[in-house]
Chain A
Amino acid sequence: MLTYAIRRILQTIPILFIISILLFFLVRSAPGGPLTSARRNPNVTKEQIEAIEEKLGLNDPLPVQYGRWIGDMFKGNLGQSIKFHRPVNDMIAERIPNTLTLVGASFFLTLLIAIPIGIFSARKPYSLFDYSMTTITFIGQSIPVYWLGLGLIVIFYVTLKNPWTDIPFFPVGGMNTRGKEGDILDTLWHLVLPVTALSLGWIAWYSRFLRSSMMDVLHEDYVRTAKAKGASSNSVYYKHALQNAILPLVTLIALDLPSLFAGALFVETIFSWPGMGRLFWDAAKGRDYPVLLGVVMITAVLIIFCNILADLAYGWLDPRVKYE
């Protein structure tokens, strides 16, 4: 199992390389370059710009610059932000916990709601509950996350207000009210709308998936056997069937991780949530390429790591799986 994990990691390294090369050359061959705004500034002399270029090594040929960048990255140094003059490492490290809080909370909520919906729909298929859930999930899957986020802002921040205090029901910017940094309750309050926006589509998708997965499993022989030997209906559904129906969900979640991060990027942008997505968006607007490349590489590594974890978890949950 360990060799399997190692081989998976080794397989992804060449691909990471290729994509990093492509992105680096694309970003660095754009005309203007990172010092465009400095060049436009009348207070900065030509000599100063040349000095900065020399210092940052921007005059070297691109392959040399790439070599230096990738070499530094292996040493764990993602470089220096052009705009903020801070190490990219620090900037990303500050943001990772915030993104994980948002994604983690949404994920928890998603499973908490989607699993019961999936089970009940499969238990009484073609019932009123099942039909209404199918319709609702179809709607949930078709709503773009950015529109949902904006809609929540319009409803719960702009339109509806607490009639006594005239303060909006939910805050829509950042993680904390000013002066309440570190207050967990305050952060939870700030989490409500972003997590709702991020979760709805996922709840729809996973409950539909679990429903069909449960329906497949319910036709299996071992379910019939369990029923025949007189196991209670609850035990058949929750013990025998659910255990097997939930397995494919593990693989699906691993495959969906990139989309989950994509959703987080939109939500962070809309709600000014200080996570990696927001950092990336700001950096893309300011063409701050060390930050951009840093975030892409870190997210890629994070996703690959989670994927391997999911693979291993799958093997642990399902003894039938053997690693070649």
Chain B
Amino acid sequence: MNEPIIQEQSMARVILRRFFKHKLAGIAIAVLALLMLASAFAFTTPYSPTDQEPTNSFQKTSMDHWFGTDELGRDVFTRILYGGRVSLTVGLLSTFLSIALGVLVGALSGYFGGWVDSVLMRTTDAFLTFPTIFVLIILGAFLREQQVPWLKNSVLIVIIIIAALSWMWPARLVRGLFIVLREREFVTACRALGGSSSRIIIQHILPNCIGPIVVSGTLQMASAIITESGLSYLGFGVQPPTPTWGSILATAQNQVFRAPWIAFYPGLMIFITVMAINYIGDGLRDAFDPYVIHAEK
């Protein structure tokens, strides 16, 4: 008697395997990991990101200064590594916050329907039609001038305001998923067995939404990094002397005639990061696609 050999695989392993089949996504993960590591180990460079050395300004690329130096004689490579810390942290944290808020709003709205749905969705629509960047600039300019001690930290402000103005996309997505899933048999079964609403939402419906939420999380993170850099570039995001890719780009713009190369690197970092995140999102989308998983079995 030959028993058929059944290989048991957890869902997570199936998805991981599928993800790494997407070669570019695998490369993108490696690139992003490298960027994070480099930022984490920024202190290993011999220079300080903020100490000025005016006699040493506008050095071109050399062995000592890989990306040259800026108008105050600071090493651009070092500043970009430190800037990566801020930009990546802001990207990650504001994405988590905005996804959390979006999932909450979308889940309540989609599960309960009725007046809850209509109030929450009207609010969401209103936020979507708003010229976000203008509001972000006002918040960025005036929040740190309020007499509230914890608002003095410009990094924290940027994280909060980006999250506060980007939760609408995941909210709409999650609402759509919940509307479909709440009618399914397993939900009815759970309700018949006396499961509470919170139990149904958290333990039964939400796990089925993980795929699309993770994919939309990558889109959020890419756009959060672009927004943060943009705000800092305009001067209303993270405040100097803390370096971020956006603020390095802003100082580079003022020096564009004397040292055009400085403008190249911070933008390149934003570009590489965003591109890597987009490819990871692409890989995750394929990996989570139930039709593809099914076809493979």
A interface residue numbers (CB < 8 A to B)? 11-12, 15-16, 19, 23, 26-27, 29-32, 138-139, 141-147, 150-151, 153-154, 158-159, 255, 257-259, 261-262, 265-266, 269-270, 280-281, 284-285, 287, 292, 295-296, 299-300, 303-304, 307
Contacts and interface: CB of A to CB of B under 8 A. Distances in A.
Interface stretch (B5-13, B104-112, B135-143): B135-143
Contact of B278 (A26, A138, A296, A303): A138
Given A27-B142, A139-B275, A296 B229 contact: no
B233 A146 contact: yes
Given A19-B130, A147-B271, A261-B133, A154 B256 contact: yes
Given A266-B230, A304-B129, 18 more contacts: A11-B122, A12-B126, A26-B138, A26-B139, A139-B275, A142-B274, A144-B226, A144-B230, A144-B270, A144-B271, A150-B267, A257-B129, A258-B130, A261-B133, A265-B133, A280-B137, A296-B138, A303-B131
A270 B253 contact: yes
Given A31-B147, A151-B263, A280-B134, A26 B275 contact: no
B19 interface: no
B145 A32 contact: yes
Contacts of A281: 137, 234
Contacts of A142: 222, 271, 274-275, 278
Contact of A150 (B126, B128, B256, B274): B256
B249 interface: yes
A26 B130 contact: no
Given A150-B252, A292-B138, A141 B129 contact: no
A15 B135 CA distance: 14
B146 interface: yes
Interface of B: 122-123, 126, 128-135, 137-139, 141-143, 145-147, 222, 226, 229-230, 233-236, 249, 252-253, 256-257, 260, 263-264, 266-268, 270-271, 274-275, 278-279
Nearest to B165: A258
Contacts of A259: 132
B279 A31 contact: no
A150 B123 contact: no
Contacts of B230: 144-146, 266
Contacts of B236: 284
Nearest to B133: A262
19 contacts: A23-B135, A26-B138, A32-B145, A138-B278, A147-B267, A147-B268, A150-B252, A150-B256, A150-B263, A151-B267, A261-B131, A266-B230, A284-B141, A284-B234, A285-B235, A296-B131, A296-B134, A299-B134, A303-B130
A70 to B, nearest CB: 17
Contacts of A287: 141
Contact of A141 (B131, B134, B278): B278
B134 A26 contact: no
A262 B135 CA distance: 11
B21 to A, nearest CB: 17
Nearest to B275: A142
A269 B231 CA distance: 12
A266 to B, nearest CB: 6
Given A26-B142, A27-B142, A281-B137, A143 B271 contact: yes
A146 to B, nearest CB: 5
A145 to B, nearest CB: 8
A23 B132 contact: no
Nearest to B225: A144
Nearest to A276: B134
Nearest to A258: B131
